[in-house]
């Protein structure tokens, strides 16, 4: 468990989960209404829907959100040659897939670039680290060692640290929280960039990670590869849990 003194006073802060996947991701089946309901029940003031390579989930979630005091941030987790990058506060689909272009396109929309789980599938070049706005220091689906390295990386590059559950199932929502130290309803973008943030994170249960990988195989209709893929998933899961 990673926990950095979260101050969860709703009158003085906004409690957010900045990394959530929905049915619009290839490895999730979570409905948007259930995501919003679960987040509200768990005391969150808002969430970022960050589906793989699309803002469709965020757009739909914002439309169905009926609570004026609950914030839905439209985002996406874009796969690039250097690893995944998250864009927050997006207005249009990101067309680029090369990291420099993705970052530029996010910024052109007035968005914020987050480097998620830096030690999971990334090529951490200096140019990339200079250009991202925030680093996800706490990810509920990443083991403690990798989260500690991510926090160290953020300190080295003087980047604000955020937390995200990386939830692919409703049960995971809110396991990681970014507490933005401004009153609810104020503009959170400047506060994020100015590091007015506290974080908390509890590691998710390993079987949720395993199940999302199984969903990925099924959605891709890679049925003939299921036995080999499952063996690889289980091996990685066991190593992840150590």
Looking at residue 27, what is its pLDDT?
A: 85
How far apart, in whole angstroms, are the C-alpha atoms of residue 6 and residue 166? 19
Residue 174's pLDDT band, with cuts at 50, 70 and 90, is: very high
Contact 51, 108 (CB under 8 A): no
The pTM assigned to this predicted structure is 0.86
CATH 3.20.20.140 domain span(s) along the chain: 2-204
Share of the chain above pLDDT 70, in %: 81
Contacts of residue 109, defined as CB under 8 A and 6 or more positions apart, other chains included, come to 87, 89, 90, 91, 92
The CATH superfamily assigned to 2-204 is Metal-dependent hydrolases (3.20.20.140)
Give me the helices (H) in the chain, please. 32-41, 56-64, 99-108, 126-131, 144-156, 188-193, 206-219, 226-240
Looking at residue 220, what is its pLDDT?
A: 65
- DSSP for 50-113, please give it: EEET-SHHHHHHHHH---TTSEEEEEEEE--TT--EEEES-SS-----SHHHHHHHHHHTT-EE
How far apart, in whole angstroms, are the C-alpha atoms of residue 163 and residue 96? 25
Looking at residue 1, what is its pLDDT?
A: 46
pLDDT per residue as tens digits for the range 124-172:
999 999 999 999 999 999 999 999 999 999 999 999 999 999 999 999 9
As beta bridge partners, residue 4 has 199
Contact 219, 226 (CB under 8 A): no
Across 56-65, 84-93, 183-192, 193-202, least confident range: 183-192
Looking at residue 5, what is its pLDDT?
A: 44
pLDDT per residue as tens digits for the range 178-199:
999 998 778 999 999 999 999 9
């Amino acid at each position: 468990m990673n926990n950095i003194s979260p101050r969860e006073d709703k009158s003085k802060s906004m409690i957010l989960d900045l990394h959530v996947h929905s049915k619009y991701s290839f490895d999730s089946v979570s409905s948007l209404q259930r995501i919003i309901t679960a987040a509200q029940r768990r005391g969150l003031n808002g969430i970022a829907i960050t589906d793989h390579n699309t803002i469709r989930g965020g757009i739909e979630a914002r439309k169905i959100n009926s609570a004026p005091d609950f914030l839905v941030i439209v985002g996406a987790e874009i796969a690039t040659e250097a690893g995944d990058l998250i864009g927050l506060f997006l207005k249009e689909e990101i067309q680029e897939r090369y990291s420099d272009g993705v970052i530029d396109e996010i910024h052109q929309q007035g968005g914020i670039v987050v480097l998620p789980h830096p030690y999971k599938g990334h090529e951490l070049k200096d140019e990339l680290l200079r250009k991202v706005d925030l680093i996800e220091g706490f990810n509920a689906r990443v083991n403690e060692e990798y989260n500690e390295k991510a926090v160290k990386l953020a300190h080295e590059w003087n980047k604000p640290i955020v937390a995200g559950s990386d939830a692919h199932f409703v049960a995971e929502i809110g396991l990681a929280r970014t507490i933005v130290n401004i009153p609810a309803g104020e503009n959170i973008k400047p506060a994020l960039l100015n590091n007015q943030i506290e974080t908390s994170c509890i590691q998710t249960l390993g079987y949720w990670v395993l199940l999302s990988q199984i969903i990925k195989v099924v959605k891709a209709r890679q049925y003939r590869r299921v036995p080999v893929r499952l063996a690889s998933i289980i091996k990685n899961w066991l190593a992840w849990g150590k």
